[in-house]
Amino acid sequence: MRKRGQIITKGKNSHLVRVYLGTDADGKRRYHNRTIRGTKKDALRYQTSILSDMDRGTFVEPSKETLNSYLDRWLEQSAAVRLRERTLTDYRELLRCHVRPLLGQKALSSITPLDVQAVYTNMLERGLSPRRVRYAHAVLRSALKQAVKWQLLANNPADYVDLPRQKRTEMHAMSKDEVTRFLRVAKEGPWYAFFLMALTTGMRAGELLALQWKDVDLNRGALQVNRSLTRGKEGWRFDEPKTVKSRRRIKLGPTLVQALQLHRSRQAAQRLRAGIRYENLDLVFAAENGHPMDRHNLSNRHFKPLLDAAGLSKSIRLHDLRHTYATLLLAAGEHPKIVSEALGHASIQLTLDTYSHVLPDMQQSAVDKLEDMLFS
């Protein structure tokens, strides 16, 4: 019977551990070889761990493939088939900037939790935010998790690192009175219908800017969210909505329907004035030439001046209109499940986590209602 393993002394404090792995498809014998720098006892300890892993069926033969080579394969064969193009581009850029420079040339099988931790420490030392570090961790952990599935790694080194505490971006939800002041000054401007829709539907800016008239049914007072607008190096692109639940039907209030009717009439007149310079992409909200509107230009040229005119803080972001919608509904007692579906959140848990600051008031309201019902 063939010995399963042997230790060959190569020199002082140098021992070759050789473990028999069986034969390949051509009948050729396969061995796992590893030089251990240390005592023979160290070599024996390593040999024992390999044999134990083989007995448990958890042994993975170390690959000489570099992390760079593996990441290329992972992006092409795994990530590309399940991610949106915009997300895939973000992954490539994040790995290029933060992971590949430090770990790219190392063998995939040699990467340790300490190596991964060093990447995150480097990012923090360069002034990057904890949120960015956590995003890098999510991408790298996903890549290495696939390596475990493909049996290139026995375990995922990214599972054993410490992450920086995340600082939540402060939300600035407007009060009812502030919304009234804002809409009063916005009413005569060209983007009134956009801001009104953001505040009364909770749609994301990318969803609003990708909305086409074919998605809107003014007679029934409803619209369908089918796509989101993003801008990459190649230019504008319509993508799938952010999550499966982001593809949703939304009811419109009478005030918004009336504003959209007026907006469509003004847009038709603008299209006639522009003539051949106008490219009709059927967008509900478009730039003067019919092209998609850049959200940063929209914020700087239209949104921020309106905040100033209404006497509101300029720290309020365009995205905070979505937060305002959710906060006002929850504060009014609307069920979080309904709000979650309207926002297109992936789960109600995300809604509860994001708007946990509103829940204590909701709980007090529930207590007051029950008190009224039973004891008044």
Boundary (domain end) residue, out of 160, 184, 212: 160
Within-domain flag for 327: yes
Within-domain flag for 168: no
Tokens standing for residue 261? 């009717």
Measure the CA–CA gap between 34 and 78, rounded to whole angstroms. 31
Averaged over 301-320, what is the pLDDT?
Answer: 94
Predicted model pTM: 0.65
CATH number at residue 313: 1.10.443.10
Query: Do 182 and 314 belong together in one domain?
Result: yes
Boundary (domain end) residue, out of 160, 185, 217: 160
- Per-residue pLDDT band for 89 (boundaries 50, 70, 90) equals confident
Name the CA radius of gyration of the chain, rounded.
29
Query: Do 22 and 100 belong together in one domain?
Result: no
Query: Do 14 and 79 belong together in one domain?
Result: no
Query: Do 149 and 186 belong together in one domain?
Result: no
CA distances from 114 to 52, 117, 155 (A): 24, 5, 14
Within-domain flag for 131: yes
What domain count does the chain have?
3
**Residue of 213, 371, 195, 217 whose CA lies nearest to 295:** 195
Measure the CA–CA gap between 112 and 126, rounded to whole angstroms. 22
Averaged over 165-170, what is the pLDDT?
Answer: 71
pLDDT by residue (tens digit) across 110-136? 899 999 999 999 999 998 889 899 999
Higher-pLDDT residue of 235 and 72 is 72
Query: Do 80 and 52 belong together in one domain?
Result: no
- Quickly tell me which residue has 């994301």 as its tokens: 204
Within-domain flag for 170: no
Structural domain boundaries enclosing 149: 67-160
Within-domain flag for 371: no
CA distances from 261 to 253, 256, 325 (A): 13, 9, 22
Boundary (domain end) residue, out of 109, 134, 160: 160
Within-domain flag for 227: yes
Averaged over 297-303, what is the pLDDT?
Answer: 94
Within-domain flag for 171: no
- Per-residue pLDDT band for 1 (boundaries 50, 70, 90) equals very low
Edge-to-edge strand list for the sheet holding 216-217: 216-217, 222-224, 249-251
Residue 199 has pLDDT above 80, yes or no: yes
Query: Do 224 and 88 belong together in one domain?
Result: no
Query: Do 298 and 156 belong together in one domain?
Result: no
pLDDT by residue (tens digit) across 240-270? 777 778 889 999 999 999 999 999 999 999 9
Q: Which amino acid is at 280?
A: N
Measure the CA–CA gap between 156 and 150, rounded to whole angstroms. 12
Query: Do 97 and 181 belong together in one domain?
Result: no
Query: Do 101 and 197 belong together in one domain?
Result: no
Within-domain flag for 166: no
Query: Do 184 and 203 belong together in one domain?
Result: yes
**Residue of 39, 42, 44 whose CA lies nearest to 7:** 44
**Residue of 332, 317, 2 whose CA lies nearest to 170:** 317
pLDDT by residue (tens digit) across 207-252? 999 999 999 999 999 999 999 888 766 678 888 777 778 889 999 9
Residue 273 has pLDDT above 60, yes or no: yes
CATH number at residue 118: 1.10.150.130
The count of other CB atoms within 10 Å of the CB of residue 131 is 13
**Residue of 282, 285, 302 whose CA lies nearest to 214:** 282
Query: Do 16 and 144 belong together in one domain?
Result: no
Query: Do 260 and 296 belong together in one domain?
Result: yes
Spatial contact of 74 and 147, defined as CB atoms under 8 Å apart: yes
